[in-house]
Amino acid sequence: MALNHLVSSSSAAAALLRPLSALSRSLSAAAAADAPITVETSVPFVGHNCDPPSRSVSTTPAELLSFFRDMALMRRMEIASDSLYKSKLIRGFCHLYDGQEAVAVGMESAITKKDCIITAYRDHCIFLGRGGTLVEAFSELMGRRAGCSKGKGGSMHFYKKDGGFYGGHGIVGAQVPLGCGLAFGQKYVKDGTVTFAMYGDGAANQGQLFEALNMAALWDLPAILVCENNHYGMGTAEWRAAKSPAYYKRGDYVPGLKVDGMDALAVKQACKFAKEYALQNGPLILEMDTYRYHGHSMSDPGSTYRTRDEISGVRQERDPIERMRKLILSHDVATEKELKDIEKEVRKEVDEAVAAAKESPMPDPSELFTDVYVKGYGVEVFGADRKEFRGVLP
């Protein structure tokens, strides 16, 4: 199958401003053959207090190609972010997502932008999946005005309300109660949507997670708690931090499902199942068995508490992009050369986005105190250059 027509021929500037979802749609629309394909997930789902979904997943050539491109774009974005950080163009904290791309892509394919997602600080690729652009992402990472949070949030505080993305959050586990609050609102207005509240295995032991889960279960909220279990917290292996690392069972009275988080189609199937379940029955826990290639953050080499052989072994056996490549080739959806051409185009797109983001100016100092408080609540500031504060009643 010739895929040359799948690569966009529009101008570079226009391409940079198109969100990932739009690029995927154009790719899908251009796919010549769109006959259904049935694929079996790499490993079975394991359920806790629920019957797991079927391992047989229905997909199409167009979807497989979009998954491949989206994950390749996310991977390249994070590799570029690594270089920008080492060049000191990204400062502060920065947590990269490479290795976990199947979770972001598979989840997005099963839901709509009216459904909500809230996550922790490893948020760049989730933002991209929700419709954010590369220029917005790189600008935010470098603290530029064109960033999704106007350059004032940085790596840990991406945000896109119009895409149903309620942010990255820096306080470990704090996003889970907020996610249950979003789900409360969804149930209140009865709009048939759900919230995916994402957290890591390190946050799985936080008390606020269990408190929020208890309320979600009491009120049958359409909340799906997604534990991205990449097996290491901040330098600590899961077995050293959790007496029970079967995170999908940790809700006890709340059903759970263990999913191969390195298999985009398995994630799609699980998230589709979870949305249908949560709308009918209330909360559910999804444990995504995944892996991060970088350290916990850019200050962590990631090799002192695990071996290089372990990392390379995961890359060789479970890498989500390579799995998708093999699946595409085995079903004759594309040739090896055509997939490499997509990767070349992705690399060019990322490089152009980095260049464009570098041209965006830094926020003006006068913006320091804007977008901090809702007017009329909390504290009003009398100008950024003065130290006068006044409490304001609602």
The pLDDT tens digits of the residues spanning 137-186 come to: 999 999 999 999 999 999 999 999 999 999 999 999 999 999 999 999 99
Helix axes 308-318, 320-330, angle to 10 degrees: 30
Helical H segments across 219-307, by residue range:
238-241, 264-281
Share of the chain above pLDDT 70, in %: 87
Residue 117 maps to a domain: yes
Task: Report yes or no: 47 and 319 within 8 Å, Cβ to Cβ.
Answer: no
Residue 390 maps to a domain: no
Residue 372 maps to a domain: no
CA 36 remoteness from chain centre: 27
Distance between CA 39 and CA 253 in Å, rounded? 32
Distance between CA 256 and CA 278 in Å, rounded? 11
pTM, whole model, 2 decimals?
A: 0.88
Residue where the block lists tokens 């154009």: 26
Distance between CA 85 and CA 37 in Å, rounded? 41
At residue 372 the predicted structure's pLDDT band, cuts being 50, 70 and 90, is confident
pLDDT of residue 373: 77
Residue type, 357: A
Least reliable range by pLDDT among 43-47, 248-252, 374-378, 385-389? 385-389
Q: Extract the tokens encoding 272.
A: 């589709």
The β-bridge relationship of strands 379-381 and 389-391 is: antiparallel
Distance between CA 260 and CA 58 in Å, rounded? 17
Identify any residues that bridge with 201 across adjacent strands, giving them in sequence order.
none
Whether 307 has a pLDDT exceeding 90, the answer reads yes
pLDDT of residue 4: 38
Phi, psi of 59 (to 5 degrees): -145, -175
pLDDT of residue 389: 47
Residue 384 maps to a domain: no
Section 113-128 average pLDDT = 98
The β-bridge relationship of strands 379-381 and 284-289 is: unpaired
pLDDT of residue 394: 43
Residue 385 maps to a domain: no
pLDDT of residue 198: 98
Residue where the block lists tokens 């226009």: 14
Dmax of the chain from CA atoms?
Answer: 67
Total tally of structural domains belonging to the chain: 1
Section 368-382 average pLDDT = 68
Integer CA distances (angstroms), 283 to 195, 212, 254, 276, 358, in order: 10, 11, 7, 11, 42
Residue 41 maps to a domain: yes
pLDDT of residue 368: 85
Residue 377 maps to a domain: no
* Average pLDDT in the chain: 90
CATH code, domain with 278 = 3.40.50.970
Phi, psi of 119 (to 5 degrees): -140, -175
At residue 371 the predicted structure's pLDDT band, cuts being 50, 70 and 90, is confident
At residue 244 the predicted structure's pLDDT band, cuts being 50, 70 and 90, is very high
pLDDT of residue 136: 98
Distance between CA 385 and CA 187 in Å, rounded? 44
Whether 386 has a pLDDT exceeding 70, the answer reads no
Integer CA distances (angstroms), 92 to 139, 166, 235, 324, in order: 14, 21, 18, 34
* Domain coverage including residue 179: 4-363
Residue where the block lists tokens 């949070």: 149
Least reliable range by pLDDT among 16-25, 104-113, 136-145, 203-212? 16-25
Residue 375 maps to a domain: no
